[in-house]
Amino acid sequence: MATTAIPSETKWWSGGKSPFNSSYGKVMMWYFLMSDAFTFGAFLISYGTIRFSVNHWADPNHVFNAFPFAGHANLPLAFVSLMTFILIFSSVTMVLAVHEGHNMNRKGVEKYMILTILGGIAFLSCQAWEWTHLLTGEHVALLTDGTLGVIPTTVKMNPWGAELDHTTMMSALQKTSHDQLIGIASSLHHGTEAIGHSISTLSNQELINEITAAPGFHATHSGPIAFGGYFFGITGFHGFHVFSGVIINIVMYLKTKLGHFDKRGHYEMIEKAGLYWHFVDLVWVFVFLCFYLV
Amino acid sequence: MSSQTSSPEITFQPDHSGGTSRIWKIFWVLSVLTIIELALGYFLYLKSGQLSDIVVLSTKCVIGILTLAKAYYIVSVFMHLGDEVRNLIMTIVVPLVLFVWFIIAFLYDGNSWKNLRNTNAGSKPNQIEQVHKEVIEK
């Protein structure tokens, strides 16, 4: 192996060699990642500023408590832990691919690139499920016109405000229209058709009685308006990075398979793709902290 | 097997002859740190409403520090920045120090915004609600 220990008296700046001891492409990848870190940092700090500026913010343990196929079980942190471990594991397979590249082992690079790509696709699928769950999962909340309604989490509204006290809830129910009351009542029965037909014949007061008597019924203020925009914006921007990382990894896999890097005599492109992929994992560590843990 | 020097800019090829044991070690370090973070997050969830502000804040700070430790291991080992020469490490890491100012200044700003919101000089939330009610009643 052409490995040389770096003599301590090396004069890096006296000319004749690169002071960074690194190829042009790799240094530029580092600078790109640094600028991307500032972009993500600016997004997350802006989110922090707005979150600090309001009296009530959405409680992540309440917002992100669902798990696929687990119905309405309350499982805070569970799904996002799965996503985190998927990304950590795909980072490990990426660094193993880089390692095989250093040893000029094409088969090894191919195997670990495939695993990394699968990890990326698994992560994106998880994110797609989570977004769908938030965009379609409706909860009862106080709307801006003073009535109650069932709303999902979007960039315009969300039901993640503080719990309504009983008096406010009752007076809001009195103002709520017949159609909205039917919507609330059927959401409590999870839209069962049989019940859906019978409740449409009830009067407003009967509907209110039905709703308040339903087990586990609760209503909240509508949540901080910025929550959806920040959540979908930042996880979406990160998800787009994962997506482009998967595309880059697929290209790298094909180039490995076609023997381009063997012809070139080195696997440095795998290292550069690896830098990007690890950066995606790095950003997730901070997204995980800011949106789910604290 | 030997890896060739991939470009003329590289004077000293870093040593890549080691096995994969270091990679797997860092994988376990990252996993354990994540599990500790999750345990602390779950602790905050179970005890929510029962803990004093200072306990909540310090637990969140510990989680933040563990996150920085994870970031260090990812950058240093997985991205091999730790194997690069000091010149390159410094040109990447030093600009990131800007984040220290960035975070302090903006979170302080957010907090003062909240304080202003809750005074008569700002738009006190309960006042807004009252105005809102009046509008609805009309």
pLDDT digits (tens, 9 = 90+) for A31-64: 999 999 999 999 999 999 999 999 999 999 889 9
With an 8 Å Cβ cutoff, is A162 touching chain B? Answer: no
- pLDDT, residue B132, reads 54
Among partner residues B75, B85, B125, which is closest to A6 by beta-carbon distance?
A: B85
Sign of CA dihedral A149, A153, A156, A158: positive
Q: What are the residues whose beta carbons fall under 8 Å from the beta carbon of B108, sequence distance 6 or more?
A: none
Type of residue at A161: G
- pLDDT, residue B1, reads 39
Band of the pLDDT at B3, cuts 50, 70, 90? very low
- pLDDT, residue B123, reads 61
Q: Is residue A6 part of a domain?
A: no
For position A31, which CATH number holds? 1.20.120.80
Q: Tell me what the pLDDT averaged over chain A comes to.
A: 91
Tell if the CB–CB gap between B3 and A104 is shorter than 8 Å: yes
Listed residue (B7, B88, B12, B10) closest to A6, CA to CA: B12
A254 and A118 co-located in one domain: yes
Residue of A nearest to B109 (CA): A49
A120 and A34 co-located in one domain: yes
Closest-CA distance of chain A to residue B53, Å: 13
Q: Is residue A122 part of a domain?
A: yes
A35 and A54 co-located in one domain: yes
Q: Is residue A38 part of a domain?
A: yes
A126 and A144 co-located in one domain: no
Average pLDDT of the segment spanning B16-36: 91
A126 and A239 co-located in one domain: yes
The domain containing residue A201 runs over which residues? 139-221
Q: Is residue A11 part of a domain?
A: no
Average pLDDT of the segment spanning B31-58: 93
Tell if the CB–CB gap between B74 and A281 is shorter than 8 Å: yes
* pTM for the predicted model, two decimal places: 0.89
Q: Is residue A155 part of a domain?
A: yes
A178 and A254 co-located in one domain: no
Question: What string of H, E and C letters represents the secondary structure of chain A?
Answer: CCCCCCCCCCCCCCCCCCCCCCCHHHHHHHHHHHHHHHHHHHHHHHHHHHHHCCCCCCCHHHHCCCCCCCCCCCCCCHHHHHHHHHHHHHHHHHHHHHHHHHCCCHHHHHHHHHHHHHHHHHHHHHHHHHHHHHHHCCEEEECCCCCEEEECCCCCCCCCCCECCHHHHHHHHHHCCHHHHHHHHHHHCCCCHHHHHHHCCCCHHHHHHHHHHCCCCCCEECCCCHHHHHHHHHHHHHHHHHHHHHHHHHHHHHHHHCCHHHHHCCCHHHHHHHHHHHHHHHHHHHHHHHHHHC
Tell if the CB–CB gap between A278 and B70 is shorter than 8 Å: no
Q: Is residue A17 part of a domain?
A: no
Closest-CA distance of chain B to residue A2, Å: 7
Band of the pLDDT at A14, cuts 50, 70, 90? confident
Domain boundary residue, one of A221, A244, A273: A221
Decide which of B129 and B64 is more confident: B64
With an 8 Å Cβ cutoff, is A260 touching chain B? Answer: no
With an 8 Å Cβ cutoff, is A81 touching chain B? Answer: yes
Domain boundary residue, one of A194, A221, A248: A221
Q: Is residue A179 part of a domain?
A: yes
A54 and A179 co-located in one domain: no
pLDDT at A81 over 90: yes
A166 and A125 co-located in one domain: no
pLDDT tens, position by position, A201-223? 888 888 888 888 887 788 999 99
Q: Is residue A16 part of a domain?
A: no
Tell if the CB–CB gap between A77 and B42 is shorter than 8 Å: yes
pLDDT tens, position by position, A115-146? 999 999 999 999 999 999 999 988 999 998 88
- pLDDT, residue B71, reads 97
Residue spans of the domains in chain B: they are 21-137
A56 and A188 co-located in one domain: no
Band of the pLDDT at A191, cuts 50, 70, 90? very low
What gap in Å lies between CA A260 and CA A108, rounded to an integer?
Answer: 15
Average pLDDT of the segment spanning A151-162: 93
- pLDDT, residue B136, reads 56
On chain A, the residues whose CB falls within 8 A of the CB of B41 are 61, 77, 292-294
Domain boundary residue, one of A221, A251, A273: A221
A110 and A171 co-located in one domain: no
pLDDT tens, position by position, A214-247? 877 889 999 999 999 999 999 999 999 999 999 9
